[in-house]
């Protein structure tokens, strides 16, 4: 991502010569430092495939409406294909003097095919060109991330099915609350990721209007066919207002907001993996493939990937902040500020792709320690709610009263350092005559989870059903689940 910079400082005397693309009215070249701050080629060369696709569509459309001969259009498209292969092979020579990806490609086209290259920029501007390129790039990212997230969901759903009946403590305030199953916990993330994919899909729908042909800002006097270029580039329609077309980057912001929320979700799972792998929990194992050792402490097995996933949320969300601050307060339409939309967005999507891939690897690698989880679930009086619920259901006690009776039972058990089901029948009767030994049937963690059959509850039979439904849905769907 490093800019191709020439560290030559300011001064015009030995500075570059006038830009061959727009230098008509310029006698001298820019100061070296002007060129350095102005050029975006160091990073926007990444948009070359999208830029070439946009130019090909534009050239074909120009020929279609009679603004370019068929022969010239063919020559231009062939030249652009040559450039695409030069770029793909890493043979393209990017020039800082030519500022950005658009002018680098047009200048190379001129070298390759001569005069017809100069006809390509008819009825367009770099303003609508860059908006189109960047939209195409963000759209590609959305499609890639959607596939990756579906893969992660599938990994989670498979694990959930395999461990639908593995009991673990569910937490609130990170205090043991009620027993749940490991499968249920994993399926919670499948739901979150489904909403994340939905957010990306929504962003894609709004993004999918083509700015090409808005020209610099006002539209054009040439009889262009914007529907044709929009269609060729896979957009649903052309944008409706030329000013809006070149002035906004909300499509990138929406995608970055979706990326930020996704990263936040994954950082929570990452944090849980860090906790679960710690000696105090010992809930899961990760193999050598997803842990690292310490250079000093031989016993260590560190969850570095999870920690880095947790940390990258900051980096991904900062891209949103970068772009919102770039855009905030800009008068319509295009201002050069908007060139600063790219680096942070590129970095955010690169980071997110890495995060999702690493999380998928970790989820597939992760194995629970059912015995440790079960023991932890039994501690902390996790089935106290079950006792209260039993008093309501079996003895008709109002819940609020049942809550108090159970609270006293917990206090008594705690003072004796025993579990609730180790209280004697006498103890129970003394706490409340309606509390009998029959309550013990609901006090095991297995009974507790099995009883939670309400819609969306943690009962293993629910979890199995949901996991199977997700696996089926993910196998056939290519939209957000």
Instruction: Give me the active site residues, please.
Output: 173, 294
126 binds ligand ARG (CB under 6 A): yes
Q: CA separation (Å) from 22 to 29, 56, 98? A: 11, 22, 10
**Binders in 352-381 for ligand ARG, by CB under 6 A:** none
**Binders in 93-112 for ligand ARG, by CB under 6 A:** 100
Give the nearest distance from C-beta 295 to ligand ARG in angstroms.
44
Joined together, the tokens standing for residue 202 give 């929504």
**Nearest alpha-carbon partner for 460 in 451, 469, 472:** 451
In the set 200, 251, 290, 334, which binds ligand ARG (CB under 6 A)?
334
User: Can you point out the beta strands (E) in 222-381?
Assistant: 237-238, 284-285, 367-368
Phi first, then psi, for residue 176 (nearest 5°) are -55, 125
Of the candidate spans 13-21, 125-133, 207-215, 371-379, the one that interacts with ligand ARG by CB under 6 A turns out to be 125-133
Give the nearest distance from C-beta 151 to ligand ARG in angstroms.
32
| Cα 301 to Cα 280: distance, rounded to the nearest angstrom | 14
Pick between residue 336 and residue 455 the one whose CB is nearest to ligand ARG. 336
Pick between residue 341 and residue 386 the one whose CB is nearest to ligand ARG. 341
Pick between residue 173 and residue 336 the one whose CB is nearest to ligand ARG. 336
Contact 222, 122 (CB under 8 A): yes
Give the nearest distance from C-beta 20 to ligand ARG in angstroms.
15
Of the candidate spans 64-72, 126-134, 295-303, 443-451, the one that interacts with ligand ARG by CB under 6 A turns out to be 126-134
Q: CA separation (Å) from 256 to 1, 92, 206, 237, 349? A: 19, 30, 14, 23, 8
Give the nearest distance from C-beta 343 to ligand ARG in angstroms.
10
Give the nearest distance from C-beta 127 to ligand ARG in angstroms.
5
In the set 339, 444, 448, 458, which binds ligand ARG (CB under 6 A)?
339
| Cα 240 to Cα 238: distance, rounded to the nearest angstrom | 6
- CA quadruple 68, 71, 72, 77: dihedral sign: positive
Give the nearest distance from C-beta 325 to ligand ARG in angstroms.
16
**Nearest alpha-carbon partner for 471 in 145, 159, 193:** 159
In the set 32, 62, 130, 259, which binds ligand ARG (CB under 6 A)?
130
x-marked contacts with ligand ARG along 31-60 as a string, rule CB under 6 A: ---------x---x----------------
Of the candidate spans 123-131, 136-144, 237-245, 432-440, the one that interacts with ligand ARG by CB under 6 A turns out to be 123-131
Pick between residue 75 and residue 129 the one whose CB is nearest to ligand ARG. 129
Contact 193, 470 (CB under 8 A): no
Pick between residue 215 and residue 449 the one whose CB is nearest to ligand ARG. 215
Number of residues that bind ligand ARG (CB under 6 A): 10
- CA quadruple 454, 458, 463, 467: dihedral sign: positive
**How many C-beta atoms lie closer than 10 Å to residue 186's C-beta?**
25
The owner of tokens 């929320």 is 261
Give the nearest distance from C-beta 102 to ligand ARG in angstroms.
6
DSSP-assigned letter for residue 210: E
Pick between residue 126 and residue 310 the one whose CB is nearest to ligand ARG. 126
Q: CA separation (Å) from 179 to 244, 385, 405, 465, 467? A: 53, 10, 21, 19, 19
**Nearest alpha-carbon partner for 68 in 124, 122, 128:** 122
Torsion of CA 351, 355, 358, 360, to 10 degrees: -140
In the set 338, 358, 391, 445, which binds ligand ARG (CB under 6 A)?
338
Pick between residue 40 and residue 317 the one whose CB is nearest to ligand ARG. 40
Of the candidate spans 55-63, 336-344, 395-403, 438-446, the one that interacts with ligand ARG by CB under 6 A turns out to be 336-344
Of the candidate spans 24-32, 258-266, 331-339, 343-351, the one that interacts with ligand ARG by CB under 6 A turns out to be 331-339
Pick between residue 72 and residue 133 the one whose CB is nearest to ligand ARG. 133
Give the nearest distance from C-beta 40 to ligand ARG in angstroms.
4
* Degrees to nearest 5, angle at CA 16 with 14 and 19: 155
Across the strands, what pairs with 209? 237
Give the nearest distance from C-beta 44 to ligand ARG in angstroms.
6
For residues 352-374, one letter each, b for 16 or more C-beta atoms within 10 angstroms of the residue's C-beta and e for the rest, the string is beebbebbbbbbbbbebbeeebb
Pick between residue 104 and residue 267 the one whose CB is nearest to ligand ARG. 104
The owner of tokens 């015009």 is 12
x-marked contacts with ligand ARG along 279-318 as a string, rule CB under 6 A: ----------------------------------------
Residues found near ligand ARG in the complex (CB under 6 A): 40, 44, 100, 126-127, 130, 334, 336, 338-339
């Amino acid at each position: 991502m490093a800019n191709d910079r020439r560290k030559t400082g300011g001064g015009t005397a030995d500075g570059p010569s006038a830009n061959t693309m727009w230098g008509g009215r310029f006698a001298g070249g820019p100061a070296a430092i002007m060129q350095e701050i102005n050029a975006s080629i160091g990073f926007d060369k990444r948009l070359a495939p999208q830029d070439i696709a946009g130019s090909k569509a534009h050239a074909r459309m120009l020929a279609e409406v009679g603004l370019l001969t068929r022969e010239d259009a063919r020559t231009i498209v062939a030249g652009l294909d040559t450039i695409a292969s030069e770029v793909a092979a890493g043979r393209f020579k990017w020039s800082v003097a030519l500022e950005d990806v658009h002018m680098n490609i047009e200048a190379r086209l001129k070298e390759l095919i001569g005069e017809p290259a100069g006809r390509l920029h008819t009825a367009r501007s770099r303003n609508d060109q860059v908006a189109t390129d960047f939209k195409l790039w963000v759209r590609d990212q959305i499609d890639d991330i959607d596939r990756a997230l579906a893969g992660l969901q599938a990994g989670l759903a498979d694990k959930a099915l395999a461990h639908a009946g593995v009991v673990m403590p569910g937490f609130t305030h990170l205090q043991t609350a009620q027993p749940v199953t490991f499968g249920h916990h994993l399926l919670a993330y499948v739901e979150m990721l489904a909403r994340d994919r939905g957010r990306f899909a929504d962003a894609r729908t709004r993004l999918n209007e083509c700015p090409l042909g808005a020209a610099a800002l006002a539209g054009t006097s040439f009889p262009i066919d914007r529907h044709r270029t929009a269609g060729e580039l896979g957009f649903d329609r052309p944008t409706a207002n030329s000013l809006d077309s070149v002035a906004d980057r909300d499509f990138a912001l929406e995608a970055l907001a979706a990326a930020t929320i996704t990263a936040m979700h994954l950082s929570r799972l990452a944090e849980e993996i860090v906790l679960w792998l710690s000696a105090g929990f010992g809930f899961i194992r990760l193999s050598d493939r997803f842990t690292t050792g310490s250079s000093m402490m031989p016993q260590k097995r560190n969850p570095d990937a999870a920690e880095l996933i947790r940390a990258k949320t900051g980096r991904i969300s900062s891209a949103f902040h970068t772009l919102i601050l770039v855009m905030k307060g800009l008068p319509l339409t295009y201002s050069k500020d908007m060139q600063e939309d790219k680096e942070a967005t590129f970095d955010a999507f690169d980071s997110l792709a890495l995060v999702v891939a690493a999380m998928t690897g970790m989820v597939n690698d992760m194995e629970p320690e059912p015995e440790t989880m079960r023991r932890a679930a039994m501690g902390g009086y996790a089935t106290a709610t079950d006792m209260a619920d039993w008093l309501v259901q079996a003895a008709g006690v109002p819940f609020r009263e049942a809550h108090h009776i159970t609270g006293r039972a917990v206090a008594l058990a705690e003072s004796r350092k025993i579990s609730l089901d180790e209280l004697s029948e006498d103890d129970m009767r003394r706490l409340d005559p309606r509390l009998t030994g029959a309550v013990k049937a609901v006090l095991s963690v297995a009974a507790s989870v099995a009883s939670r059959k309400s819609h969306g509850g943690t009962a293993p039979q629910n979890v199995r059903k949901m996991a199977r439904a997700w696996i089926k849905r993910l196998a056939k769907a290519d939209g957000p689940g």
